[in-house]
Structure 1
């Protein structure tokens, strides 16, 4: 029976409570009535997440197109590169790892009784706080980047990666999880639908990394580029050298050009 009064959320006044006030929000609520509310607790505080519908409207056509090559830690596109694991996130992950070790040590030493310790609860609260900070930073970064894409480009090409299968490998699974490949695709998909932009998904077998953007030659076998580069030809992991036409470029920039070739 919650209501929205003057842009603020008003809940029922509990019995026996004299002073009662509307719940403050980050911005004035645009809805007239509450349809769905999710209540969650974090660090001893309660939060209400409200959902509402709003007409997005089509974005103006720009006549431009771009492609995004997603990598662990950064996304490359025609305008440059965006870092999805900035220094502040790396610092938070180190702190999270430190708190996880402390909690694990307390559980090994005290078993089920560890959860009753005030010191244990304090460390767990700090861990939850840092997890929330990480989620907020990453969400803010992806939302701003995807909004920039739909504002500036009419056609956007991305790789249709099989994230679940890639996560099964232990080489870069943690980095892929932190880079949020799946969430990036999800956000970009619904924003393109909202604003009338065209999203092109490259086939999972499309060799964007191994293909030469100049002549179309595709590397196979011992000539392929790996995370360690190419031992046969002595090239680094970020170097692309075509053995047919002699074309050379940064590996990620070459992949962007190959993805861009899928636009019409």
Structure 2
């Protein structure tokens, strides 16, 4: 099975390359905003937008007028225009909201360039990128398959990354003849129907005090700069502290991503059928008492990883209804005795007298319901 797979590496550009990356990001943003303004004007007048081909022709003329657009990767600018056209196409299909102008203050600063005539390649411990030439990078693994494009990104921490999209051949994993039910929680991140529990590492709360302290410093330095009539972009102390806070957030993100990838891969490797609840994460986030904890555990990201890895490796994901009372029913005899509040973490069935851990019992019920649902399809 051929799939699209991303490879992300940290890159270490020199000063000249950093300047060129900044210029390319700026030019890509300028082209996007320039044609978005024209697109909006035409849409207001006619109710229809422009087309990619008409904008592409205008871009050629724009390059003649603005010579600095020729300094950067032309494919990156063209990709920015293509991204705008795709955004408007999805808007007309009611798949997303109307495209918005890009800001240089946004935390995501990136551009995408396509692979043509070997302009993107791995050469030893360096990566070849259009206009940038050879750039040092942390080669953690080999890039396999046919390369489609590369996205160069500058994080708020000041670190640079490249994400390479390639088409690779993925072989299904061997069948294990095993099925598992998963109950997602907050205290324990995942509780499996075989009794195993995976701890929620509380990445944010573990670093919460340090984050608060560094964010207070950032606020004080912002106030100090404003009192002195200084632009925050010119405040050196403010910018240093801003990078420090951004690096803490980046570390949290990396820790969480590493945990989710390792756990999802382990489950996919060891089980053929994975049964989970179809949770409404957006609805649960409206609960202000639990919103912070739910955001920290990243259930949605975990389920997404399970789904695409299952598709790659020939495994099956079964989602059961969110209204199924998995924690209320006895997994031994099926008896349901009223509604148990969240404070009750273990209980004994009055019919079969089996003692249950609330979460393990829920995961067992999720497995049974998932297999039943699968049998009906």
* Distance (Å, rounded) in 2 between the aligned partners of 1:45 and 1:214: 53
The 1:32/1:208 distance shift into structure 2, 3 A limit, reads closer
The 1:6/1:161 distance shift into structure 2, 3 A limit, reads same
Instruction: Find the counterpart in structure 2 of residue 200 from structure 1.
Output: 318
Is 1:83 the counterpart of 2:199? The answer is yes
Is 1:167 the counterpart of 2:278? The answer is no
What do the CA deviations read for 1:36-60 (whole angstroms, capped 9, x no partner)?
2222213333322212121221110
What do the CA deviations read for 1:205-243 (whole angstroms, capped 9, x no partner)?
0111111112222343xx4222xx2xxxxxxx3223334
RMSD: 2.5
What is the SS of the residue equivalent to 2:153?
Answer: strand
User: How many pairs align?
Assistant: 247
Instruction: Find the counterpart in structure 2 of residue 103 from structure 1.
Output: 218
* Distance (Å, rounded) in 2 between the aligned partners of 1:41 and 1:149: 33
Deviation at 1:108, TM superposition (A): 5.0
- Give the conservation status (yes or no) of the 8 Å contact 2:148–2:166: yes
Instruction: Find the counterpart in structure 2 of residue 30 from structure 1.
Output: 143
* Distance (Å, rounded) in 2 between the aligned partners of 1:239 and 1:161: 22
Greater relative contact order, per chain length (Cα 8 Å cut-off, separation 6+): 1
Instruction: Find the counterpart in structure 1 of residue 259 from structure 2.
Output: 141
Structure number with the higher helix fraction is 2
What is the SS of the residue equivalent to 1:23?
Answer: strand
Normalising by structure 2, what TM-score? 0.60
Q: 2:152 aligns with which of 15, 39, 44?
A: 39
Instruction: Find the counterpart in structure 1 of residue 247 from structure 2.
Output: 129
What is the SS of the residue equivalent to 1:120?
Answer: helix
Deviation at 1:3, TM superposition (A): 2.5
Larger Rg: 2
The 1:105/1:238 distance shift into structure 2, 3 A limit, reads farther
Instruction: Find the counterpart in structure 1 of residue 94 from structure 2.
Output: none
* Distance (Å, rounded) in 2 between the aligned partners of 1:130 and 1:48: 20
Instruction: Find the counterpart in structure 1 of residue 169 from structure 2.
Output: 55
Is 1:214 the counterpart of 2:329? The answer is no
* Distance (Å, rounded) in 1 between the aligned partners of 2:230 and 2:348: 60
Deviation at 1:9, TM superposition (A): 1.5
Is 1:71 the counterpart of 2:185? The answer is yes
Normalising by structure 1, what TM-score? 0.83
Instruction: Find the counterpart in structure 1 of residue 105 from structure 2.
Output: none
